Amino acid sequence: MKIAFINDSSQQLGIQYMSAVLKQHGHEVKLFMDPQLFADDVIQINSLGKLFNYENKIVKDVKEFSPDLIGISIVTDFYQWACNIAQKIKAEIDTPIIVGGIHPTSVPDRVMNNKNFDMLCIGEGEFAMLELANSLEKGAIDYSIKNIWFRKGEEIIRNEVRPLISDLDALPMPDTDLYYSASPHFNRTGLYITMTSRGCSNACSYCCHSYLHELYKGKGPTVRQRSVNSVIEELDLNTNKHKIKFIAFMDNCFGYDLNWLKEFAREYKEKIGIKFWCIMHPNDVTEESVHYLKEAGCHTVDMGVQSWNEDLRKNILFRNIDNQTMENAIQLIKDANIEIMTDSIFDLPNQTDEDILKSAEKYIEIKPKRIYFYMLRHYPNTKMTRMAYDNNWLSKDRYEEVMDAHNVTSFSVGGDNVSKKLIKYQILFYLIDLLPKDISRFILKKKLYKYFPSFIGPALVVILRNLLAFDMNARLQRAWTINRYFHFTVKKTFNLKDK
């Protein structure tokens, strides 16, 4: 069986694992990547996006590959992109298309209304995709495969969700070469992306896990951890193959298991020894856990704060943690000379200007390495979106747009409500990152933020901030983006063929 995966401009671990499982069982897999030049989640310039559009080339290349099955993994931000490219493919070849990823998982009925999609995978796809490929190879589709919905004539067959994969070590190593062969920009910067666990013990209202906890209730533990040996084996394999300079662990709560972290620190320091970035929940940050992070060679910790208003955090965001715990966590990480980055969400329901300015005061004093400022973005079927609909924080029309991914504004450059006032606050928080404490205090005391320019869009503010950032994460992301744009603009301009 020949399976083609069509990919947006990001690197997706889910596809890497599915590819590894399929190849392990004799199937041929190829990735077709759309670089989304000037049409990604940050840079959106319509005229240049049309000039450097790769969709027709992808359709042509997929047609030449002549796959038996086409898979598209979809996030909400790129759902309309997926609909568009699926329509173009169907106009050329009648190959079945299966979609998966967090957007189809969250709103499967709505996604299956699009008749260009023949099948839909809910949740984890490794074994569902393998069973589907095996049945297609035998010449007859098995319509009873768990996790997969099928279009059969006018009927939609909705199969139940299978239990979560409990033993992550049973999976083969993720197929990193699938991406590295599709575009050199993935490995040119030396950044390697992986996960040591799946799931999250928390169910914050704005996050997809608030829905996934409900979907998988009774289907297995919410968090599953790979063994340290499995992680080290993967990293050892890839560090010997590629020039890896920095590793990003994309776990939702890295090191939540202290015993695991202790063993990891010892093995990682001895056998890998490469600087890394990780995400941690404040509740998991202790003197002991920070000691192990430092021992392992952790360079940066990203930690969600979201709001310094405890009432908002508890009753709106469903994050049951107090301010003192967060302050202590930030200080412990700083004391260990590990870079600390924090995430904050603004334009929350019932949030006041006073809340935002108190957050600014707090950040001036604790001074993390970098503050990531996000405006609230509603995603399909999250607890936040359902609360917003029930409480009329979202209009019915906007709710329908959210659920169908229409008029999407990426969370990284804006939100569902981008106002001049929020843009000024956005600039304020970015300046707090860059300026000495005394100057930041002066700006806040004299309310100079009121005079900040608001005519520039949030996307431009983000781009300028990223250009001025010197933390490791920003430098790598900047290099990754520059390499992607350089490679594919040159390729398009001079009509270069793939090697």
Query: How far apart (Å, rounded) are the C-alpha atoms in residues 34 and 31?
Result: 10
Q: Is it the case that residue 412 has pLDDT exceeding 60?
A: no
Q: Which of 354, 351, 362, 361 is nearest to 316 (CA)?
A: 351
Q: What are phi and psi of 392, to 5 degrees?
A: 60, 30
Query: How far apart (Å, rounded) are the C-alpha atoms in residues 342 and 301?
Result: 9
| DSSP code for 44 | B
CB burial readout 387-420, b (16+ within 10 A) else e: bbbeeebbeeebbebbbbbeebbbbbbbbbbbee
Q: Which of 121, 73, 67 is nearest to 89 (CA)?
A: 67
Q: CA angle, 430 as apex, 428 and 432 as ends, to 5°? A: 70
Res 248: pLDDT: 96
Q: Is it the case that residue 473 has pLDDT exceeding 80?
A: no
Taking only the tens place, the pLDDT of each residue in 325-348 is 999 999 999 999 999 999 999 899
Strand residue runs (E) in 42-124: 69-73, 97-100, 119-121
CATH fit for domain 2-165, picks 1.10.10.60, 3.40.50.2300, 3.90.230.10, 2.10.240.10: 3.40.50.2300
Res 443: pLDDT: 96
Taking only the tens place, the pLDDT of each residue in 177-202 is 999 999 888 888 899 999 999 999 99
Confidence of residue 455 (pLDDT cuts 50, 70, 90): confident
Using alpha carbons, list the distances in angstroms from residue 353 to 2, 54, 136, 349, 452.
Answer: 55, 43, 57, 12, 16
* pTM of the model as a whole: 0.94
Plot region of 244 (φ>0 → left; ψ -120 to 50 → alpha; else → beta): beta
Q: Which two tokens stand for residue 405?
A: 């991914």
The fold for domain 189-468 equals: pyruvate-formate lyase- activating enzyme (3.80.30)
- Please check whether the two domains, 2-165 and 189-468, share a CATH topology: no
Q: Which two tokens stand for residue 362?
A: 């707090």
Alpha helices by DSSP H, listed for 91-184, are 102-106, 108-111, 126-137, 177-182
Q: Which of 308, 243, 252, 242 is nearest to 284 (CA)?
A: 252
| Domain segments of the chain as ranges | 2-165, 189-468
Pairing of strands 155-158, 148-152: antiparallel
Q: Which two tokens stand for residue 51?
A: 């000039």
Q: Is it the case that residue 36 has pLDDT exceeding 90?
A: yes
Lowest mean pLDDT across 135-144, 186-195, 224-233? 186-195
